[in-house]
């Protein structure tokens, strides 16, 4: 016995079909629309299905598509019951095999005969004779209004079919009755699996509860969307908007609009991250800018100050407000040097560690190293420059101190051995002749260090240096060349000059002894004088040194120094 399903939204047609087929002894089940039919076919598998085309919720065409996609319904013979056979027979999908036969809705006696005719052929296995046929439409006439409605419906369906936005229709209970191709793609679902299912169940909690709550608050008139949020489904971010359309009192349809916004949201998150990264970098650079040990100064294309950091304010003595009306050029001490630097900037686009002088607010000049980079706008136009300025005043002082220390003895302040030897080389070229050399040695310094300590010994070394500086000319070069030994270069000297130098040294020591400032202090002295024509400075130094040792040995540090002369 054939299992028969009748799907028609008209109750009279359903009742007629039910009575007719029940009298024939068939097992018949009826459904008022495609949605009800799909719910029935979850447990009921029919052999013959009579389907109306135009129905609410899920229509006949969609229902036939779902039936043909189910393996358990492949055998079912589908008969379309249609009152629009004449007007739009091509709409029934006969050609692609979705349905088997189209049966026109006509007078009930004629309809009953055609139904019996179709069932007998199916039972006899002669379905090939029926497939592709449109039965019972000979005595029907086309109606223009029906054609117009079908044309409008087709246009509407084509529009929905090609929409890039997903669109779905739901019943009041959120059962899915329609989904366009875009919605199926977004949800990664097939039509047969999606229709007649609960839309809310697609999502996870707490999203389910929130959607259900909002749907239950359907207003009495159309207002704002019931639901408009971004939800996660199948690792996608979906924009879900639900609105309601009232069809008649207390009956409404829910329409769902879906958009896959995964890439958009990812782009937005990336943009937020990028903005946050930019903000952190900007804050980091601002901290570097404001707290750098160097002065950072930004000027516009006209040389007007637009920003500078705390150290720039300290370095120049001005607040930023005081400089608003000034130009950077006003701070350069030497306009010519500034123009030379700016010319270099124009030629190569940057300046690196260029030394110029700036004027402090108090009027003093500061040596500075300047590095400048041009700033460009979006169209690569010059919009200003960034200058990094380092005050070289302390560095210059340190440099001078280092230079001083490299040539001077740190204990006494007179020149050191290295400088003395370089000067000997210079004098060896025959300048400032005759040249005299005086060599002095502090007597018994080792005994003083051993008995009274090195501090006392250092005091004697310093005393010897002071005696030499007080006794000699400004042009004479005094150097400490050993622990207790000093040497003096006396340029443009003759016998009288160098002997006078020695006598002044002796006189100062005698004066100190007379005052009992340091009665044990004495110095051994030796000297030598070159000719007026040439000099071997090394040989001259050796003679003076030898004479000093003779004085030390012969006179035990008395004040009768030894000397010799080249004539």
The answer to whether residue 528 is domain-embedded is: yes
Percent of the chain whose pLDDT exceeds 90: 40
The answer to whether residue 158 is domain-embedded is: no
The answer to whether residue 286 is domain-embedded is: no
Please report the pLDDT score of residue 91 as a whole number: 47
Residues 136 and 202 reside in one and the same domain: no
Cα dihedral: 118, 121, 123, 125 (round 10): -140
Residue 27 near residue 4 (C-beta atoms within 8 A): yes
* Helix/strand/coil for 332: strand
We report the CATH number of the domain holding residue 546 as: 3.30.70.270
Please say if the pLDDT value at position 148 is more than 90: no
In this predicted model, what pLDDT tens digit does every residue of 490-527 receive, in sequence order? 999 899 999 999 999 999 988 887 777 676 788 999 99
We report the CATH number of the domain holding residue 172 as: 3.30.450.20
Domain boundary among 338, 366, 396: 396
Please report the pLDDT score of residue 517 as a whole number: 66
CA 85 to centroid of chain Cα atoms: 66
Residues 380 and 424 reside in one and the same domain: no
Mean pLDDT of the chain: 85
- Cα separation, 285 vs 306, whole angstroms: 16
Residues 481 and 555 reside in one and the same domain: yes
User: By residue range, what is the domain housing residue 391?
Assistant: 292-396
Task: Supply 319's token pair.
Answer: 């607040």
Region 428-447: mean pLDDT is: 88
Residues 425 and 561 reside in one and the same domain: yes
Residues 326 and 181 reside in one and the same domain: no
Please report the pLDDT score of residue 94 as a whole number: 55
Please report the pLDDT score of residue 223 as a whole number: 59
In this predicted model, what pLDDT tens digit does every residue of 149-178 receive, in sequence order? 555 666 667 777 788 899 999 988 899 999
The answer to whether residue 273 is domain-embedded is: no
Residues 102 and 191 reside in one and the same domain: no
Please report the pLDDT score of residue 565 as a whole number: 53
Please say if the pLDDT value at position 140 is more than 60: no
Please report the pLDDT score of residue 567 as a whole number: 39
Top-confidence residue, 465 or 518 = 465
pLDDT-derived band of residue 217, with 50, 70 and 90 as boundaries?
Answer: confident
- Cα separation, 538 vs 525, whole angstroms: 18
Residues 390 and 532 reside in one and the same domain: no
Please report the pLDDT score of residue 417 as a whole number: 94
Is the sign of the CA dihedral 243, 246, 251, 255 positive or negative? negative
The answer to whether residue 502 is domain-embedded is: yes
Q: Whole-prediction pTM value?
A: 0.50
In this predicted model, what pLDDT tens digit does every residue of 29-61 receive, in sequence order? 999 999 999 999 999 999 999 999 888 888 888
CA 27 to centroid of chain Cα atoms: 72
The answer to whether residue 285 is domain-embedded is: no
Q: CB within 8 A of 484, min separation 6: which ones?
A: 441, 442, 445, 446, 461
Please say if the pLDDT value at position 544 is more than 90: yes
Domain boundary among 147, 179, 212: 147
Q: CB within 8 A of 39, min separation 6: which ones?
A: 31, 196
The answer to whether residue 365 is domain-embedded is: yes
Q: Minimum mean pLDDT among 79-93, 96-110, 246-260: which range?
A: 79-93
Percent of the chain whose pLDDT exceeds 70: 88
Please say if the pLDDT value at position 137 is more than 80: no
Top-confidence residue, 403 or 532 = 403
Strand 436-442 to strand 485-490: parallel, antiparallel, or no bridges (unpaired)?
antiparallel
Please say if the pLDDT value at position 98 is more than 80: no
Region 70-99: mean pLDDT is: 70
Residues 180 and 299 reside in one and the same domain: no
Please report the pLDDT score of residue 194 as a whole number: 92
Q: CB within 8 A of 163, min separation 6: which ones?
A: 180, 182
Three-state secondary structure along 347-362?
HHCEEEEEEEEEECCC
Residues 106 and 209 reside in one and the same domain: no
We report the CATH number of the domain holding residue 64 as: 3.40.50.2300
The count of domains in the chain is: 4
Please say if the pLDDT value at position 409 is more than 80: yes
Residues 520 and 418 reside in one and the same domain: yes
The answer to whether residue 402 is domain-embedded is: no
Domain boundary among 117, 147, 177: 147
Region 427-455: mean pLDDT is: 89
pLDDT-derived band of residue 293, with 50, 70 and 90 as boundaries?
Answer: confident
pLDDT-derived band of residue 563, with 50, 70 and 90 as boundaries?
Answer: low
Residues 445 and 497 reside in one and the same domain: yes
Residues 106 and 180 reside in one and the same domain: no
């Amino acid at each position: 016995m054939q299992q028969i399903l009748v799907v028609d939204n008209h109750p009279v047609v359903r009742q007629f079909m039910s009575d007719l087929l029940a009298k024939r002894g068939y097992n018949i089940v009826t459904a008022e629309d495609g949605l009800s039919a799909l719910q029935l076919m979850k447990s009921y598998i029919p052999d013959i299905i009579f389907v109306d085309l135009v129905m609410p919720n899920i229509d006949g065409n969609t229902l036939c598509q779902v039936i043909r996609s189910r393996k358990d319904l492949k055998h079912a013979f589908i008969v379309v019951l249609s009152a629009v056979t004449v007007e739009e027979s091509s709409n029934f999908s006969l050609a692609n095999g979705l349905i088997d036969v189209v049966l026109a809705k006509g007078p009930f006696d004629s309809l009953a005969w055609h139904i019996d005719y179709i069932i007998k052929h199916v039972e006899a296995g002669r379905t090939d004779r029926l497939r592709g046929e449109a039965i019972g439409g000979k005595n029907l006439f086309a109606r223009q209004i029906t054609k117009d409605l079908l044309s409008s419906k087709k246009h509407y369906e084509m529009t929905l079919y090609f929409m890039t936005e997903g669109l779905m229709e739901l019943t009041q209970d959120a059962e899915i009755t329609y989904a366009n191709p875009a919605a199926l793609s977004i949800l990664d679902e097939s039509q047969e699996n999606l229709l007649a299912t609960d839309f809310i169940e697609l999502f996870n909690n707490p999203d389910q509860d929130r959607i259900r709550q909002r749907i239950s608050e359907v207003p009495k008139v159309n207002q704002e969307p019931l639901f408009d949020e971004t939800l996660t489904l199948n690792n996608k971010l979906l924009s879900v908007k639900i609105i309601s359309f009232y069809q008649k009192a207390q009956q409404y349809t829910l329409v769902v609009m879906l958009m896959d916004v995964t890439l958009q949201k990812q782009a937005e998150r990336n943009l937020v991250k990028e903005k946050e990264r930019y903000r952190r970098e900007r804050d980091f650079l601002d901290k570097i800018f404001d707290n750098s040990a160097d002065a950072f100064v930004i000027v516009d294309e006209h040389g007007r100050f637009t920003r500078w950091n705390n150290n720039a304010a300290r370095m120049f003595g001005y607040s930023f407000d005081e400089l608003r009306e000034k130009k950077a050029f006003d701070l350069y001490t030497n306009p010519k040097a500034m123009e030379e630097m700016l010319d270099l900037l124009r030629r190569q686009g940057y300046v690196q560690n260029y030394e110029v002088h700036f004027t402090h607010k108090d009027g003093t000049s500061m040596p500075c190293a300047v590095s400048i980079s041009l700033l460009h706008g979006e169209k690569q136009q010059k919009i200003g420059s960034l200058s990094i300025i380092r005050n070289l005043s302390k560095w210059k002082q340190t440099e001078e101190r280092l230079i001083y220390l490299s040539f001077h003895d740190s204990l006494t302040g007179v020149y050191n051995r290295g400088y003395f030897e370089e000067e000997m080389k210079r004098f060896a070229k025959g300048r400032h002749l005759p040249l005299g050399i005086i060599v002095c040695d502090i007597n018994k310094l080792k005994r003083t260090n051993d008995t009274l300590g090195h501090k006392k010994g250092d005091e004697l070394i310093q005393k010897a240096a002071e005696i030499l500086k007080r006794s000699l000319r400004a042009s004479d070069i005094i150097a400490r060349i050993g622990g207790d030994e000093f040497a003096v270069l006396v340029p443009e000297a003759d016998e009288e000059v160098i002997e006078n130098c020695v006598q002044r040294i002796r006189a100062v020591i005698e004066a100190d002894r007379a005052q009992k400032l340091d009665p044990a202090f004495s110095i051994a002295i030796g000297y030598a004088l070159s000719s007026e024509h040439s000099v071997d400075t090394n040989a001259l130094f050796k003679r003076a040194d030898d004479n000093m040792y003779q004085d030390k040995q012969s006179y035990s540090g008395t004040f009768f120094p030894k000397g010799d002369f080249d004539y």
